[in-house]
């Protein structure tokens, strides 16, 4: 059971790291060419971003997967392990959404996400949609995001389905707790 949980967490980590790295590469390719950063600066940015991404993923896994598993593995073992795919998929889609919001924000405003994003919330949905429809780059990014979401949905669900709980026999509960404490 815990092996299933760890396999799904590992797949989530790999997919999320790939997604966040692609977001960073997209931003650097689009805006980095305008600023002409040197190679040592780019390496430092990627290493710092990779460390931040790992911290973010570890925090998400701890809060939404491993801590709830301590409670639910005691009372609702089979059901919770089936639900982990849904939890991880939801977290992955939120990361995708934030990645595309960040790219769109860079395209529209020319800098990273700052306090102006809260003004977009105050403007209302119709103003934001009219801004997206008025800018071809944002419209193209929105279409690309929707296609990207569809492909990632299929891939993520396909590869995590391999590790569904129905394929693994349950282990004694004390081994699961010892494994979690050992992490």
Residue 22 has pLDDT above 70, yes or no: yes
Q: Give the H/E segment covering residue 138.
A: helix 136-161
- Spatial distance between the Cα atoms of 34 and 30, rounded to a whole number of angstroms: 8
pLDDT band per the 50, 70, 90 thresholds, residue 25: confident
**Predicted local distance difference test score (pLDDT) of residue 39:** 78
**Predicted local distance difference test score (pLDDT) of residue 165:** 46
**Predicted local distance difference test score (pLDDT) of residue 150:** 82
Residue 18 has pLDDT above 80, yes or no: yes
The CA–CA distances, whole Å, from 170 to 38, 74, 77, 93 equal: 53, 12, 9, 29
Residue 45 has pLDDT above 60, yes or no: yes
pLDDT band per the 50, 70, 90 thresholds, residue 170: very low
**Predicted local distance difference test score (pLDDT) of residue 167:** 40
Residue 182 has pLDDT above 70, yes or no: no
Give the residue with greater pLDDT, 109 vs 180.
109
Residue 140 has pLDDT above 60, yes or no: yes
Give the residue with greater pLDDT, 33 vs 114.
114
Mean pLDDT rounded to a whole number for the chain: 78
Give which of 68, 82, 58, 93 is closest to 4, Cα–Cα.
82
**Predicted local distance difference test score (pLDDT) of residue 166:** 46
Domain boundaries, the chain: 2-182
pLDDT tens-digit readout, 112-129: 777 777 776 677 777 777
**Predicted local distance difference test score (pLDDT) of residue 144:** 84
**Predicted local distance difference test score (pLDDT) of residue 92:** 86
pLDDT tens-digit readout, 72-110: 777 776 777 777 878 888 898 888 888 888 888 888 777
- Spatial distance between the Cα atoms of 170 and 27, rounded to a whole number of angstroms: 45
Give which of 89, 86, 95, 104 is closest to 16, Cα–Cα.
95
- Spatial distance between the Cα atoms of 111 and 103, rounded to a whole number of angstroms: 10
């Amino acid at each position: 059971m815990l092996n299933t949980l760890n396999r799904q967490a590992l797949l989530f980590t790999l997919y999320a790291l790939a997604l966040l790295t692609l977001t960073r590469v997209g931003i650097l390719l689009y805006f980095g060419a305008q600023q002409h950063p040197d190679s040592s600066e780019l390496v430092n940015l990627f290493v710092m971003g990779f460390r931040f991404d790992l911290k973010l993923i570890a925090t998400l896994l701890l809060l939404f997967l491993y801590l709830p598993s301590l409670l639910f593995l005691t009372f609702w073992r089979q059901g919770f392990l089936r639900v982990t795919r849904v939890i991880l998929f939801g977290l992955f889609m939120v990361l995708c959404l934030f990645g595309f919001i960040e790219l769109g924000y860079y395209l529209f405003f020319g800098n990273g996400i700052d306090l102006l994003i809260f003004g977009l919330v105050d403007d209302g949905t119709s103003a934001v949609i009219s801004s997206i429809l008025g800018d071809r780059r944002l419209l193209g990014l929105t279409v690309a995001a929707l296609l990207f979401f569809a492909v990632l949905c299929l891939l993520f669900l396909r590869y995590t389905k391999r590790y569904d709980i129905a394929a693994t026999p349950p282990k004694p509960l004390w081994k699961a707790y010892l494994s979690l404490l050992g992490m």
